[in-house]
Amino acid sequence: MAATILADDDDDDMNPFTSIMLLAPTRQPPKPESEEDHQNQSPLSSSKAGITSQQLLDQNNYYLHSINSHLLIRQLPSQGLSFQLWPAATTLVTLLDTHSSQSTIPNPLSTLFKAQENRPLRILELGSGTGLVGIAAAALLSANVTVTDLPHVLCNLHFNVEANSKLLQVNQGAKVNIAGLSWGVDEDMKAIGKEYDLILGSDLVYHDRLYKPLIKTLRFFLLGNDDGSKKKRVAFVMAHLKRWKKESAFFKMARKLFDVDIIHSDPPSHGARVGVVVYRMVGKCFLSINSVPS
């Protein structure tokens, strides 16, 4: 049963680096990225010539039990936080896999995936990073998924989608589209469009300077249409691992616009005080996007 969120700022700050789970245990924790890191980061080369042999070996296989298949995901930790796997992504993939194998049994995602007549489920993923969640969602749900991130991340997304193209082909209806999306940028959001049945995201609440752009992006996709008309009810499912008290500012903003509740939580692991929590957010009373202050 979902639990409504009442407060998010009671715990002490968490160590952000000990809470990042890189599935190869010998890897060093990532260095924090500054705003300049993002601005100065150059795109990855589209050819193997620009990638070292060590980077080519930095891959992970993920077994999806419900479809008896493996996903191959390349990580490039030296390129930044967007190029490595975070704990919330694996939690969300596990939930999707469980739902796929137990679709007739009530589970945390049961009410979110309603069969669509004569078409695949349409899913949008925000802040896709390596693409693990979006690619897994497409394969597990035979869905049409659009994965998004900043322009400098897209080359690795293309690599990982292509690496799993055969898996997607054998699952009828499964498709992964790739698009650039800077949160809060009207041009990017309008280019992607609003015709989605579900929005996914994992470990998005990290840099506090991005809280407002993320909220603006969620307003665009979850609330009413620009002409003031109501839109169908679309949920945002976000897996998140708490690291700092300051994250409560994001959830306070979110609760002004959306009904926010918890649909799943992992127990703490690896000596952490908290585990990954999966939230569901839906627009309050189908508010029009124009009725909400910026």
Q: Are 131 and 161 in contact (CB under 8 A)?
A: yes
Phi and psi at residue 130, to the nearest 5° = -75, -15
Residue closest to 188 by CA, chosen among 213, 156, 157, 163? 213
Predicted confidence (pLDDT) per residue in 29-80, tens digit: 333 444 333 333 333 333 333 444 344 445 688 999 999 999 999 999 888 8
Length of the chain: 294
Confidence band for 250, pLDDT divided at 50, 70 and 90 = very high
Q: Which of 20-24, 44-48, 195-199 has the lowest mean pLDDT?
A: 44-48
Residue closest to 231 by CA, chosen among 256, 195, 198, 193? 195
Neighbours of 165 (CB within 10 A): 10
pLDDT at 8 over 70: no
Q: Which of 26-35, 100-109, 136-145, 265-274 has the lowest mean pLDDT?
A: 26-35
Residue with tokens 């194998």: 101
CA angle (267 as vertex; 264, 271 as ends), nearest 5:
145
CA 171 to chain centre: 21
- The structural domains of the chain, ordered by start, are 54-291 (3.40.50.150)
pLDDT of residue 53: 39
Indicate the angle between helix axes 248-257 and 211-222, nearest 10 degrees.
20
Q: Are 130 and 149 in contact (CB under 8 A)?
A: no
Does the pTM of the predicted model rise above 0.85?
Answer: no
Predicted confidence (pLDDT) per residue in 87-135, tens digit: 899 999 999 999 888 766 666 676 676 656 678 899 999 999 999 999 9
Residue 266 Cα distances to 15, 88, 161, 194, 204, angstroms: 18, 10, 28, 31, 17
The pair of three-digit structure tokens given for residue 148, joined into one six-digit string = 């998004």
Average pLDDT over residues 3-9: 47
For 230, residues 6+ apart whose C-beta sits below 8 A from its C-beta are: 224, 286, 288
For 152, residues 6+ apart whose C-beta sits below 8 A from its C-beta are: 38, 41, 42, 43, 44, 82
Pairwise CA distance, residues 195 & 193, whole Å: 6
Q: Taking the CA atoms of the chain, what radius of gyration do you get in angstroms?
A: 18
Residue closest to 135 by CA, chosen among 87, 167, 108? 167
Pairwise CA distance, residues 256 & 117, whole Å: 33
pLDDT of residue 102: 74
Average pLDDT over residues 17-23: 39
Pairwise CA distance, residues 185 & 216, whole Å: 9
* DSSP class of 109: T
